[in-house]
Structure 1
């Protein structure tokens, strides 16, 4: 069985590790795993199994690749905000007649003491800043900075790789990769005098400590809601659920 994992997340790497070389549950064979990475990070953490880097060229390119490489199933384990590839995966899987699963970690849930301000987009987040703070910790990734380019606030931008313009005029860039510690996030908020946090609802445990640090400091948090999974696509909330789904697939006709 050949499984294509659209990856780039910690869940995708864990799933590749779980599936690679295991029995496929159908005929005593093993699972062949190919992980596809978008190539937006200069030095990605490579998963187990085969790896391809770069885009497919849209829906048609993905259909062609799935057929040419005899893919039996596709698992969309991309970031919850990778809306375009998720849409392309849904259309391509339907066209190629292969099963598709979306692996989505659960989103964050506000707790007692949180001052959350949910918004539907980065543009809405930028507009909300005027009433909430002047020193912004922006953790939405380097690809969406253009939405904040005209904001007058001071920004601390954290990303794995250096961002490129357009970006806010008053910006300090912090190159770092999670997981992050609670003590580290407390010190970062304190030392940079942060008074508002902007984040996406990625749901990742590795980046959740910033939310607790903001709660403790009484800092408002603008949370960008994640887009929905494409209609009709089955979902799993954990690596184990996704592995069970793969084991339950029958042989392709």
Structure 2
């Protein structure tokens, strides 16, 4: 998982300081609308909606925007009908890439995602071609040197986390998706500060990249993430932390 959590931290920090908040808000509004449509508008009874609302609040989205998106999802207000689509393909070096999107026009989005893959040295594949490489997990990532590692271990074990993995720069707590909120709440009560807390896709195997291929892959991921319809991008790359940092400078 080397590189995976580091990239998640880089993305998280970028999102917090991104000037294009309008785009971030529009993506979150889509997620809130879809979550409310699928599971109802009460976050107490809809874990997915609850997590998205928390993410929106972290981005300082106004409460009225959140409430309006919920009402569009439940049908109380008119709004665009979005569907969720997952794309699978390959990036430079044969890296597996999964893309989660919300769209009101599947044909248009598919054509645009295919073009982005091709433009950056990748190829869009068939459904199921790479999904088997990933597992959905809860992830809480901590920066080494900023937390007590023994305390993180203890809290994780007592809260029911599945695993704690260490890299050169991070301490990563993995949970089953259904246990994520419980584990996150346990850490919130201790005051241990995590950098990333999300439900994500963790690769079972990774592909090592460096140099030009590493840069090409990150360019592909950034281009996909910049697309208005794309919510999340997952890839099974293994790029050394120091290489990641140098590529992002």
TM-score, length-scaled by structure 1:
0.25
Kindly name which structure, 1 or 2, has the bigger radius of gyration based on alpha carbons.
1
Q: Identify, as 1 or 2, the structure richer in helix.
A: 2
- Larger relative contact order (Cα-Cα within 8 Å, sequence gap ≥ 6): 2
TM-score by length of 2: 0.25
